[in-house]
Chains A and B, each alone.
Chain A
Amino acid sequence: MQRQKLMILYTHTPDLKSGVCAWTVYDGTGKEHHTTGDSDTPPYSSVFAAMKDGWRVIQLPQHYPAYPGMELTTAYLRWETVLEQMVEVESE
């Protein structure tokens, strides 16, 4: 049976070849434990590098024009790409 692994990469720009600035991993197989502060180096240098290693992109970030008067406002990281892998695990 299969379980899903999710990897969320936050990149420098919307370009999938741009550098990774922040990252998150959720391992649905239960084999790896990930939490805040568990690594200082991104798992991949770019989304494109992850794709070449077999990760499947399931969500790309959307562009939203800045609301007038809020052009300089910052909030959440905008260039968030969600990737998945389906991993075979033994039946329970």
Chain B
Amino acid sequence: MDRQFLLNSVQMANFAADGFLLFPELISEEINREAMREIDDKLIPQHYEHQGQPLAGLWTESKGFGRLFRLPEVQGIIHSLVGPDPLYDHHAFHKVGPQHIEGQVWHADATIDPRQGHFDIQLFYYPHDTPREMGGTMFLPGSHLRRIHETDIGRYQNFLGQFPIVCKAGTLAVAHHGIWHCAQPNLTDTMRYMFKLRLNPTVRQMLLWNTDDLESPEIHNALFRNHRWYGNDDRLEYAQRIKFWRFLTGNEKFDSNYWLTRIENTPEKVAVL
């Protein structure tokens, strides 16, 4: 893996805090056009492929979607987050029809996930321009570490700081599997497409990125980013992110702003008076 394509530590800290990263217009127009052709001509199956197979063997002849996740830039993102040799979990072509005025309810994919550190990623690829009125996916930054089950969060409609994807063709969002999200209403007269691909790790997700900047103070700033929608739970969010960063770095002593150190302080030495 060429290190120039790996994410850096600050990007990883942003992922740890926000639950996703956005890569505007990362994919070339040539691949975007080919991907749309593969959709129109149904050259990529609409149904799931065999789940749990190595991603490397999937769609090897495809010059659209297959070529997309073989790009060195995308390989670098994947490697940084889930490591080498990830497994294909599933894919889906998400379509929102024209004049579809109802937004999808908020949800997190699959099921409530009991894993404490290990995570899957989901690639969200927008092959065409997606203005706000077309209903690109709405993400909730910072939601990914909460223990909820799928659409049990369906009673929420709006949050402070909710983040709709408004983008040019070729934009890629890469999200932690726990991110809360929902498709938005499509108020245009054109079908809105989004391609999703979920990947599982096969290695311990520790220091998989370019760690040259591992001591950057920006990491602490990222981990303490307040997204506002969780109110007084912000302190719990910071604690969860510190624990996640410990997992990602393998450094169980890592702390930021003394947040966990003080509540892990249980000295046993008996004082002699």
Contact = CB atoms under 8 A, between A and B. Distances in A.
Interface of A: 8, 10-13, 18-19, 21-25, 33-40, 42, 72-79
Contacts of A73: 147, 236, 240
B157 interface: yes
B102 interface: yes
A35 B103 contact: yes
B203 interface: no
A9 to B, nearest CB: 11
Nearest to A8: B155
Interface string B146-161: 1110001101111110
A36 B184 contact: yes
Contacts of A18: 231
B239 interface: yes
B107 to A, nearest CB: 10
Contacts of B236: 72-74
With most chain B CB atoms within 10 A of its CB, the pick from A21, A36, A76, A77 is A36
B256 to A, nearest CB: 14
Interface of B: 101-106, 138, 145-148, 152-153, 155-160, 162, 164, 182, 184-185, 228-233, 236-237, 239-240, 243
A34 B237 contact: no
A65 B213 CA distance: 40
Given A21-B159, A24-B155, A77-B156, A35 B102 contact: yes
A22 B156 contact: yes
Contacts of A39: 158
B229 A36 contact: no
Contact of A11 (B102, B103, B147, B231): B231
A67 to B, nearest CB: 12
B160 A75 contact: no
Contacts of A37: 103, 138, 157-158, 162, 164, 182, 184-185
Given A21-B160, A24-B156, A73-B147, A35 B230 contact: no
A36 B152 contact: no
A72 B235 CA distance: 9
A21 B157 contact: no
A74 B230 contact: yes
A76 B153 contact: yes
A37 B160 CA distance: 10
B264 to A, nearest CB: 11
B230 A38 contact: no
19 contacts: A11-B231, A21-B159, A22-B157, A22-B158, A22-B160, A23-B158, A24-B157, A25-B157, A35-B102, A36-B138, A36-B157, A37-B185, A38-B158, A39-B158, A72-B239, A74-B146, A76-B146, A79-B231, A79-B232
